[in-house]
């Protein structure tokens, strides 16, 4: 027998006896850390884990949605909306405010839970605005804003470094630039008084009036969660299901279906601060304002077919266009302007609620006053270090600028910092080089992940004497930021919006009726395309009911395209005064930075005469000439082909100049035509997209092969490029030859 076994048997019997005695004695003193008393010596025999203490039970086997484990137990449970802890909610459309027009309250636990969870849905990519392009620049103030704002960066001649990030909203980082979407226009001013972030869009309104709805609209617009499609577009059921039910989105939807949602370039894109802000001047007087970015090149857009082609031909089109323009010295510029309104207790102007982010104030009622100019003049060195790690926040304010009680803005004030904590790994994201202020920093924030500063002293608190009292609080005379002492009306806590927020149709109607017939036709086509991609018939019919309350012509045309009857309006359509400033057409703009394609036939040197001089003339006009030939590389007359018939497409050019009718190149698809079929396609696309076309020499043969009349609108044919180019340049000032195709929409 093993001599160890008798000893073990005795030990086990003794332990059983001890346990028996323990059961018969009084309860043990609470606080024992383990279910059994440890031995003096370290245990050396392997054994199973100790059991739980008698006062401990294992958690119930429930899923994250509160159900017992089993089939389908991970699905959502119950008929009612709840918090993540199962508390039923009676309202998820309105933040808790101090009165319907009062500020949003920090105690709104549902708002904070909803936004916090939304902010942390993606790691590390941005949930929205993931697809972006960033560049550096400088802002110079005009000095004419001093009567309303004391901010130093608006002073005359004050030069402030900036970083600007343009972006789409819905798509992932790998999506295309030219999708139909809202674009972000976020600017970080590194001012002498600290960083100021103006975080806006290229559309002046938003889908929602209250920030508590932000997760809803983005969840609806994002790809369907079951299949993760469609990517970076709103032409699907969940988006239209939401906006057809949530009619406060109607104004933004009209803008999204307009040409504004497919800009020609970031350089030709308008920007808006969306919200109403409060400014204060040196004397303490306040005004309400809306911020505008006006591009010096004008507001221009892509044709929808161009946008679709570019998504495949060059999904990086917008960022490439921006970077190439800066590298070529064609620095994009915008004027920063403000619409100024009296700071009245009602916070309205001409009957328009200034706290409603789904409303605009037409420029005819409140002109936009230019207060400075932005020039983008330097590309990034590293995309991740700069563009991906740039951290914006609407709460980054400087003296002279304050927020209002816009409930969407208040949710953003919470959301941005919360998002950066997740994306950038901790609270020290402002120490990343691209986020660092250019003003002295002496905060009492310490430690945390990614701490780059090496703080001295021993007293990061106030008051203190050990650090000599430093840092000291600044006063009004030393440039301190102070929230404007705006009165808050006596009110009750409630989840409610003011009555003025319930008008969801008059401004969409104003926008639609302010556009030219061609632009309205584009909106009709966009609605017809987007709704035509929806599967559920009920959603199409519901959205038509919404459109009926905007404009009967719009509703009837979209209904006809969908093969559905047009419903009657359920409300009286208001009379509106059109705002011509909302239209992109009918104006002339600088042609700086345009790209001109020049088609040549390298096998016919005589057709190249005048092309070198034409290149110089295009460059002298601030534009970029690109020669398109059958093959790349050097050509006669010291010319170089930057594009070939294989690599060039019409969508990258603002105008086409044709020096010849080149025969099919060796790499052309089999054909019987006398002209290379890719040049014919290029001309047909440019013509269809209302672009200017010029030609000389044997170009008429290529135009005829493409079915283009030599005397058609916007087609310039002459003896040589010196005769053709000035006429082409004049037509380019209108961006496109819109008169080529009269619109059917009235």
Q: Which residues are catalytic?
A: 129, 201
| Residue tagged 């013509």 (tokens) | 687
CB atoms within 10 A of CB 603: 13
Task: Give the gyration radius of the chain's Cα atoms.
Answer: 33
Among 301, 291, 400, residue whose Cα is nearest residue 335: 291
Assess contact for 481 and 398: CB atoms under 8 A: yes
List the beta bridge partners of residue 316: none
Return the SS3 of 713. coil
Measured between alpha carbons, how far is 129 from 170 in angstroms, rounded to an integer? 7
Q: Where are the alpha helices (DSSP H) in 25-120?
A: 109-119
CB atoms within 10 A of CB 298: 19
Among 281, 304, 277, residue whose Cα is nearest residue 291: 277
Measured between alpha carbons, how far is 17 from 10 in angstroms, rounded to an integer? 11
Return the SS3 of 51. coil
| Residue tagged 């969940």 (tokens) | 238
List the beta bridge partners of residue 279: 287, 401
Measured between alpha carbons, how far is 715 from 627 in angstroms, rounded to an integer? 19
Return the SS3 of 373. strand
List the beta bridge partners of residue 189: 162, 196
Q: What is the dihedral of CA 146, 393, 396, 355, to 10 degrees?
A: 50
| Residue tagged 């894109």 (tokens) | 269
Six-digit token string for 718: 């002459």
Assess contact for 305 and 311: CB atoms under 8 A: no
Six-digit token string for 169: 């909203």
Q: Where are the alpha helices (DSSP H) in 621-718?
A: 677-688, 699-705
Among 435, 80, 190, 465, residue whose Cα is nearest residue 427: 435
Six-digit token string for 224: 């369907």
- Tell me phi and psi for residue 701, to 5 degrees: -65, -40
Say if residue 99 is exposed, middle or buried (CB neighbours under 10 Å; 0-12, 13-18, 19+).
middle
For residue 349, the surrounding DSSP H or E stretch is strand 348-349
């Amino acid at each position: 027998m093993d001599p160890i076994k008798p000893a073990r048997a005795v030990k086990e019997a003794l332990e059983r006896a001890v346990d028996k005695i323990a059961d018969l004695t009084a309860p043990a003193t609470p606080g024992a850390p383990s279910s059994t008393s440890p031995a003096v010596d370290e245990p050396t025999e392997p054994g199973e884990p100790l059991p739980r203490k008698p006062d401990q039970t294992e958690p119930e086997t429930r899923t994250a949605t509160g159900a017992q484990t089993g089939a389908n137990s991970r699905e959502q449970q119950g008929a009612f909306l709840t918090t993540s802890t199962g508390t039923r909610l009676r309202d998820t459309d309105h933040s808790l405010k101090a009165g319907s027009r009062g500020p949003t309250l920090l105690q709104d636990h549902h708002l904070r839970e909803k936004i916090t969870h939304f902010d942390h849905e993606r790691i590390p990519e941005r949930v929205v605005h993931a697809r972006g392009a960033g560049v550096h620049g400088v802002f110079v103030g005009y000095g004419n804003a001093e009567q309303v704002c004391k901010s130093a960066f608006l002073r005359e001649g004050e030069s402030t470094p900036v970083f600007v990030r343009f972006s789409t909203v819905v798509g992932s980082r790998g999506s295309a630039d030219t999708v139909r979407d809202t674009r972000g226009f976020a600017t970080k001013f590194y001012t002498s008084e600290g960083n100021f972030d103006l975080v806006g869009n290229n559309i002046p309104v938003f889908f929602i009036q209250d920030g508590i709805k932000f997760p809803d609209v983005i969840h609806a617009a994002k790809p369907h969660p079951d299949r993760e499609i469609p990517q970076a577009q709103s032409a699907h059921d969940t988006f239209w299901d939401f906006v057809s039910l949530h009619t406060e989105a109607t104004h933004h939807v009209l803008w999204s279906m307009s040409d504004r949602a497919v800009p020609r370039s970031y350089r030709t894109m308008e920007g808006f601060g969306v919200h109403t802000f409060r400014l204060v001047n040196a004397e303490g007087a306040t005004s309400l304002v809306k911020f505008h970015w006006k591009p010096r090149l004008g507001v221009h857009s892509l044709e929808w077919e161009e946008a679709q082609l570019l998504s495949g031909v060059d999904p990086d089109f917008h960022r490439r266009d921006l970077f190439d323009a800066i590298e070529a010295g064609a620095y994009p510029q915008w004027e920063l302007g403000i619409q100024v309104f009296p700071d009245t207790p009602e916070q309205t102007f001409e009957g328009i609620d200034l706290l409603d982010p789904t409303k605009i104030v037409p420029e005819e009622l409140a002109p936009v006053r230019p207060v400075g100019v932005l020039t983008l003049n330097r590309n990034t060195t590293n995309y991740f270090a700069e563009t991906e790690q740039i951290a914006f926040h609407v709460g980054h304010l400087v003296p002279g600028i304050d927020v209002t009680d816009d409930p969407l803005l208040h949710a953003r004030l919470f959301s941005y910092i919360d998002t950066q904590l997740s994306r950038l790994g901790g609270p020290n994201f402002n120490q990343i080089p691209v986020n660092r202020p250019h003003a002295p920093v002496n905060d009492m924030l310490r430690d945390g992940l990614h701490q780059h500063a090496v703080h001295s002293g021993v007293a990061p608190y106030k008051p203190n004497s050990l650090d000599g009292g430093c840092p000291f609080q600044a006063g009004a005379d030393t440039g301190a930021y102070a929230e404007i002492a705006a009165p808050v009306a006596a009110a009750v806590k409630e989840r409610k919006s003011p009555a003025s927020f319930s008008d969801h149709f008059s401004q969409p109607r104003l926008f639609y009726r302010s556009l030219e017939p061609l632009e309205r036709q584009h909106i009709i086509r966009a609605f017809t395309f987007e709704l035509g991609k929806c599967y559920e018939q009920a959603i199409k019919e519901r959205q038509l009911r919404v459109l009926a309350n905007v404009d009967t012509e719009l509703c009837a045309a979209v209904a006809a395209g969908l093969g559905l009857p047009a419903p009657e309006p359920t409300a009286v359509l208001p009379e509106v005064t059109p705002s011509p400033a909302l239209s992109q057409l009918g104006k002339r703009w600088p042609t700086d930075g345009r790209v001109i394609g020049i088609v040549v036939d390298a096998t016919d040197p005589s057709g190249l005469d005048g092309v070198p001089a034409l290149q110089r003339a295009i460059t002298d006009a601030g534009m970029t000439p690109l020669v398109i030939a059958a093959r790349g590389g050097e050509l006669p007359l010291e010319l170089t082909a930057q594009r070939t018939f294989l690599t060039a497409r019409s969508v990258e050019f603002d105008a086409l100049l044709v020096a010849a009718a080149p025969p099919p190149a060796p790499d052309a698809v089999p054909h019987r035509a006398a002209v290379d079929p890719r040049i014919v396609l290029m001309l047909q696309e440019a013509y269809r997209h209302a672009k200017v076309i010029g030609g000389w020499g044997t170009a008429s043969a290529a135009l005829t092969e493409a079915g283009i009349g030599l005397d058609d609108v916007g087609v310039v044919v002459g003896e040589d490029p010196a005769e053709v180019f000035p006429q082409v340049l004049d037509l380019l000032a209108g961006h496109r030859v819109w008169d080529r195709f009269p619109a059917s929409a009235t």
